[in-house]
């Protein structure tokens, strides 16, 4: 997770009831932030840090930003850094405890302010390197830093010790730390750097030493790049530059030597600014402030995908008469006060919120970025997985971009969320993805199966209308899907002729054998067992080892055990594959083994309840005296429960509990009977 990032904004905070606002000193400034001193600086010259959310309403060089006290007196202010859609970093010269101070901004106006020059410490900024090259000298590092105009981000830190780019997932970036060490009563310091890759150390503005080139950060007392520098006075300025240009994990460390040990310079040795807290944001006319709060509630890594549960909110209720519209960078919109989006991948993108009332319109922009540490969610946690799936399905799927939908399809397929997959796949397929995409066929199958649960005839018609090259490329797989729908959901007698046509075309393949098996399935479900056996036997004769009857009992038992174990482990898709493999080799096993119960269980887990019920009821008719009948009753009740026939299901479970108290399924029967 190293390098992933999120910038969290602060939502508008309405003025508390009963609070008396100070006079608005700059009527042309639409916004102001009210702040209070939280902690004094370690040195007065370091100033007091003020962080204000930037939501698209400050000028590029912060020429609109001024600071006053509650009486309206303008105070000295240093403009440190502006990140559009992220934050503004400022340094005030002097603030008193328990008093309100006002940072005015916005309106695209220049406002004269009293500037001052603090000793900025300890500030980290990173910039992306789009064309990384090994940095072999300080001069090259200096030119590289100055040439990287874009900024990933900036923040106050307590020491020079990082193993990531705190602002981005970029592999290649440059860093600069600016700070002051407390050096009273010292005449010299022995400093060292450990870095990956290049690093350079300036003392009081002069380059002293570095570790250029591309390399890892491993070093010890003997091999570390270090240098003794003279110091004088209460503080000494340090500038530490770093460039990550190769493939190793980044590292940025500045330390000093104490005796025979190398130590990271601790936070207590650095000059640190004071801190403030943001009390509220205000609008000049008392309107809501469009500064959204964006958070990553959790992330989930699965199947080579990173998914992020992103939330956006406005901290207070939207006043009566105002409407809210969120616009995400992919062009989709949401109209609620709060929203959730499952984002795929860690690319930063802006979010715009617009508040409207009649002819009034207020707009704010925030940029979402992903940064460690983030709360982890697990696909193995059913509640967390359900939260992600629910959020995906709550979207207006037809409006989502194709690439986002593709990410959803990939995730839902691997997580075996077939019901949700069918709905999302339907939206993605309508975006006309390339049939050569590896997910095209799984998406087509999923969306057709999903449609077939409610309208199997329409599903078959849509399958037959799939145009080439997709239909041609996946002819065999789509033909078998068509046969399944015709057999298990339509009871269509035309399936027999269709199956014979496919089997002749694919005479020597698994597809041809399975086509005959489906014809046998049709006869079996109709109770026409001699015809079913004939179809199964014809398919079995075509199997490579179909004639060796001596192997079949042991083979059937092995398949049964394997599939049971897979289902117990929750590996439904693998179990389904094994069932298909089994029926292609020995379809007659359906008539005398637990195959149909196992297939019913698989279909139950996949949400294909009508098919599951058909298979389990077929087993009951074929093997009414089988020792597996209790299992069949239990899983038949499970299917009925899912189909909404809960009273019928409870009667079956209670019968199992009463008549077969020693059976392995009694505990589960009792639990299911108590479910609502």
Q: What is the pLDDT of residues 324-373, one digit of tens each?
A: 999 998 889 999 889 999 999 877 778 999 999 999 999 999 988 887 77
585 has a pLDDT exceeding 60? yes
pLDDT-wise least confident of 168-182, 272-286, 628-642: 168-182
Residues of the chain above pLDDT 90, percent: 84
CA distance 263 to 258: 7
| pLDDT of res. 343 | 93
The confidence band for 7, taking pLDDT boundaries of 50, 70 and 90, is very low
The model's pLDDT over 508-560, given as tens digits with 9 standing for 90+, comes to: 899 999 999 999 999 999 999 999 999 999 998 877 765 566 788 899 999 99
Closest C-alpha to 519, from 447, 613, 583: 583
Q: Residue 303 — pLDDT band, cuts 50, 70, 90?
A: confident
DSSP 3-state of 230: strand
* Chain CA centroid to CA 535, Å: 48
Closest CA to 144 of 210, 243, 247, 251: 243
Between the alpha carbon of residue 234 and those of residues 61, 65, 181, 190, 238, the distances in Å are 32, 32, 8, 17, 13
> In this model, does residue 563 exceed pLDDT 90?
yes
- Residue 185 has a CB neighbour count (10 Å cut-off) of 6
The pair of three-digit structure tokens given for residue 651, joined into one six-digit string: 């009667």
- What is the CB neighbour count within 10 angstroms for residue 306? 19
Q: How far, in Å, CA of 532 to CA of 521, rounded? A: 7
pLDDT of residue 541: 86
Task: Specify the range with the lowest mean pLDDT, choosing from 40-49, 534-543, 556-565, 622-631.
Answer: 534-543
What are the DSSP calls for 571-616, one per residue? -HHHHHHHHHHHHHH-GGGGGTSSHHHHHHHHHHHTT-HHHHHHHH
Q: What is the pLDDT of residue 546?
A: 53
Q: Is the pLDDT of residue 410 over 70?
A: yes
pLDDT tens for 426-476 read 999 999 999 999 999 999 999 999 999 999 999 999 999 999 999 999 999
Residue 70 makes CB contacts below 8 A (sequence gap 6+) with 22, 99, 100, 101, 102
Q: What is the mean pLDDT of the chain?
A: 92
pLDDT tens for each residue of 62-119: 999 999 999 999 999 999 999 999 999 999 999 999 999 999 999 999 999 999 999 9
Task: With H, G, I as helix, E, B as strand and everything else as coil, classify residue 660.
Answer: coil
- Quick one: average pLDDT of 236-247? 95
Within 10 A of 13 (CB to CB), how many other CB atoms are there?
18
- List all residues 6 or more positions away from 427 whose beta carbon is below 8 Å from its beta carbon: 397, 398, 400, 405
- Could you tell me the pLDDT band of residue 17, with boundaries at 50, 70 and 90? very low
- Beta strands at 360-368 and 349-357: parallel, antiparallel or unpaired: antiparallel
Tokens of 93: 């010269």
Look at residue 516 in the predicted model and tell me its pLDDT.
97
Mean pLDDT lowest for which of 40-44, 257-261, 431-435? 257-261
Helix (H), strand (E) at residue 505: helix 495-505
Contact status, residue 594 vs residue 628, Cβ threshold 8 Å: yes
Q: What is the pLDDT of residue 659?
A: 94
Q: What is the pLDDT of residues 569-582, one digit of tens each?
A: 999 999 999 999 99
* pLDDT-based confidence at residue 13 (cuts at 50, 70, 90): very low
**Res. 6: pLDDT tops 80:** no
- Quick one: CA dihedral 52, 54, 60, 66, positive or negative? negative
pLDDT, position 551? 81
- Structural domains in the chain, sorted by start: 31-116+274-283 (2.60.40), 123-269 (2.60.120.1560), 291-393 (2.60.40.10), 581-676 (1.25.40.10)
Q: Residue 16's pLDDT is what?
A: 41
């Amino acid at each position: 997770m190293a390098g992933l990032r999120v910038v969290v904004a602060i939502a508008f905070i309405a003025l508390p009831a009963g609070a008396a606002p100070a006079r608005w000193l700059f009527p042309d400034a639409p916004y102001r932030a009210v702040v209070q001193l939280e902690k004094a600086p370690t040195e007065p010259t370091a100033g007091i840090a003020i962080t204000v959310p930037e939501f698209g309403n400050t000028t590029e060089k912060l020429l609109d930003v001024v600071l006053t006290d509650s009486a309206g007196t303008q105070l000295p202010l240093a403009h440190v850094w502006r990140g559009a859609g992220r934050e503004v970093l400022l340094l005030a010269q002097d603030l008193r405890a328990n008093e309100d101070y006002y940072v005015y901004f916005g309106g695209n106006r220049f406002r004269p302010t009293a500037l001052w020059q603090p000793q900025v410490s300890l500030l980290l900024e990173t910039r992306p390197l789009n064309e990384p090259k090994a940095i072999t000298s300080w001069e090259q590092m200096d030119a590289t830093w100055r040439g990287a105009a874009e900024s990933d981000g900036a923040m106050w830190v307590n020491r020079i010790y990082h193993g990531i780019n705190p602002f981005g997932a970029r592999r290649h970036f440059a860093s600069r730390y600016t700070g002051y060490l407390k050096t009273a009563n010292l005449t010299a310091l022995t400093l060292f750097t450990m870095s990956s890759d290049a690093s350079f150390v300036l003392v009081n503005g002069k380059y002293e030493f570095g570790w250029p080139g591309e390399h890892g950060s491993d070093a010890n007392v003997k091999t570390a790049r270090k240098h003794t520098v003279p110091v004088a006075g209460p503080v000494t300025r340090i500038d530490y530059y770093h460039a990550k240009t190769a493939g190793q994990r980044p590292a940025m460390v500045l330390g000093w030597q104490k005796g025979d040990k190398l130590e990271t310079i601790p936070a207590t040795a650095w000059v640190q600014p004071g801190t403030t807290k943001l009390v509220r944001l205000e609008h000049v006319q008392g309107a809501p402030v469009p500064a959204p709060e964006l958070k990553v509630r959790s992330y989930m890594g699965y199947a080579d995908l990173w998914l992020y549960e992103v939330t956006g909110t406005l901290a207070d209720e939207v006043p009566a008469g105002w409407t809210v519209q969120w616009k995400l960078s992919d062009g989709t919109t949401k109209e609620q006060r709060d929203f959730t989006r499952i984002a795929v991948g860690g690319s930063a993108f802006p979010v715009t919120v617009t508040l409207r009332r009649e002819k009034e319109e207020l707009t704010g922009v925030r940029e979402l970025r992903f940064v460690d540490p983030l709360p982890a969610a697990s696909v193995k946690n059913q509640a967390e997985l359900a939260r992600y799936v629910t959020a995906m399905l709550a979207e207006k799927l037809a409006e989502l971009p194709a690439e986002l939908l593709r990410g959803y399809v990939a995730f839902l397929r691997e997580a075996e969320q077939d019901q949700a997959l069918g709905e999302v796949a339907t939206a993605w397929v309508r975006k006309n993805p390339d049939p050569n995409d590896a997910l095209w066929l799984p998406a087509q199958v999923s969306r057709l199966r999903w449609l077939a649960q409610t309208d199997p005839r329409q599903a078959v018609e849509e399958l037959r209308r799939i145009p080439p090259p997709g239909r041609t490329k996946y002819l065999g797989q789509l033909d078998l899907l068509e046969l399944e729908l015709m057999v298990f959901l339509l009871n269509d007698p035309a399936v027999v002729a269709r199956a014979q046509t496919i089997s002749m075309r694919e005479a020597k393949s698994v597809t041809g054998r399975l086509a005959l098996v489906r014809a046998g399935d049709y006869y079996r479900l109709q109770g026409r067992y001699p015809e079913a056996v004939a179809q199964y036997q014809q398919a079995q004769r075509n199997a490579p080892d179909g004639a060796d009857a001596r192997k079949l009992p042991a083979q059937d038992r092995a398949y049964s055990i394997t599939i049971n174990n897979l289902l117990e482990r929750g590996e439904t898709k693998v179990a389904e594959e094994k069932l298909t493999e089994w029926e292609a080799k020995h379809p007659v096993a359906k008539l005398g083994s637990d195959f149909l119960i196992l297939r019913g269980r698989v279909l139950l887990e996949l949400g294909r309840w009508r098919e599951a019920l058909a298979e389990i009821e077929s087993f009951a008719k074929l093997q009414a005296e089988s020792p597996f009948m209790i299992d069949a009753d239990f899983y038949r009740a499970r299917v009925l429960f899912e189909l909404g026939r809960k009273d019928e299901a409870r009667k079956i479970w209670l019968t199992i509990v009463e008549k077969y108290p020693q059976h392995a399924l009694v505990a589960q029967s009792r639990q299911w009977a108590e479910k609502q």
